[in-house]
Amino acid sequence: MLGRGLQMTRVICRLMSRKLSAGLHRNILKNMHPSIDIWSVRSSLKNIRSVTMAPWPFSSSGPRDYSLPNPSWRSEMQRLYEHYNSMCEVETEGGEKLKGPWIRLASYNRALKYAPGGQCLSKFLQAKARLFTRNIEEQGAGFEYVVFVNKQEKTCVCVFQAGHLLEGPPGLVHGGAIATIMDSVTGTHAAYLSGPVMTANLTINYRSPIPLGSVVLVHSSVGEIDGRKTLLSCQVTSSDGSKLHTEATGLFISVSVGNLLM
């Protein structure tokens, strides 16, 4: 019985690998065999290399998409959102609508669950996976942000409004919150480019403080992609780009899907 379970586990993992790489939304574990052992599944998943996965697997449907405007957004945040969003779709002279150079990335609290293949993963995670930056339900209180990527230029920009819960020095954004948004933006960018990654190194220089409640831009660009290593650089600037607040470099290492199940 146990042998049969293990065999089925391997088949399921092979199927999951194919499904993940194809980027399809199907719950392949719906009728999971009762003798399947989670640890066997996990160790088999360890062998699924990130290079087999389609980049940026998150779907555009599901519950609350935190990247969409809400009433807490200041006019500057809304203006910058519309600026980048307008470049996600372009209209030809004949009125035909085509994909533009930018893509808005949807963002969910239950990030893994709403990724293709994520329904399977969330079973193993007992539906507990939550994304830190999207855990504050009160709109405008924490991290309000939207990420856009430019596929051709391999750049990424995030419009970020820091809420009152992110206070460090009086009236200013906490350095850890700045590190969090930089890790999230570069991590998202790296995952978009290279599939599942973990941050190995994030080196930050804080140049000028960020006023609480202000709207800033977080830019991420590729330094180098070398095998499993994706090196990105990141700058936080004022919304008009005139003032540098923070700069960083981040090293992201591609990992197998199994690493996400610890």
Ligand X SMILES: CCCCC/C=C\C/C=C\C/C=C\C/C=C\CCCC(=O)SCCNC(=O)CCNC(=O)[C@H](O)C(C)(C)COP(=O)(O)OP(=O)(O)OC[C@H]1O[C@@H](n2cnc3c(N)ncnc32)[C@H](O)[C@@H]1OP(=O)(O)O
For ligand X, the binding residues in 136-175 under the rule CB under 6 A are none
User: What's the per-residue H, E or C state across the chain?
Assistant: CHHHHHHHHHHHHHHHHHHHHHCCCCCCCCCCCCCCCHHHHHHHHCCCCHHHCCCCCCCCCCCCCCCCCCCCCCHHHHHHHHHHHCCCEEECCCCCEEECCEEEECCCCCCCCCCCCHHHHHHHCCCCCCCHHHCCCCCCCCEEEEEEEECCCCEEEEEEEECHHHECCCCEECHHHHHHHHHHHHHHHHHHHHCCEEEEEEEEEECCCCECCCEEEEEEEEEEEECCEEEEEEEEEECCCCCEEEEEEEEEEECCHHHHHC
Nearest-approach distance from CB 74 to ligand X, in angstroms = 23
Contacting residue, 184, 230, 237, 246, with ligand X by CB under 6 A: 184
Please identify, among the stretches 8-16, 155-163, 214-222, 248-256, the one whose residues bind ligand X according to the rule CB under 6 A: 248-256
Please identify, among the stretches 21-29, 31-39, 168-176, 197-205, the one whose residues bind ligand X according to the rule CB under 6 A: 197-205
Binding flag, residue 250, ligand X (CB under 6 A): no
Q: Quick one: 112 or 210, whose CB is closer to ligand X?
A: 112
Nearest-approach distance from CB 123 to ligand X, in angstroms = 12
Contacting residue, 9, 183, 230, 246, with ligand X by CB under 6 A: 183
Please identify, among the stretches 83-91, 137-145, 195-203, 209-217, the one whose residues bind ligand X according to the rule CB under 6 A: 195-203
Contacting residue, 57, 140, 142, 163, with ligand X by CB under 6 A: 57
Binding flag, residue 229, ligand X (CB under 6 A): yes
**Residue 183 among the catalytic residues:** yes
* Residues near ligand X (CB under 6 A): 20, 57, 111-112, 115, 117-118, 121, 183-184, 187-188, 191, 196-201, 228-229, 251, 253, 255, 257
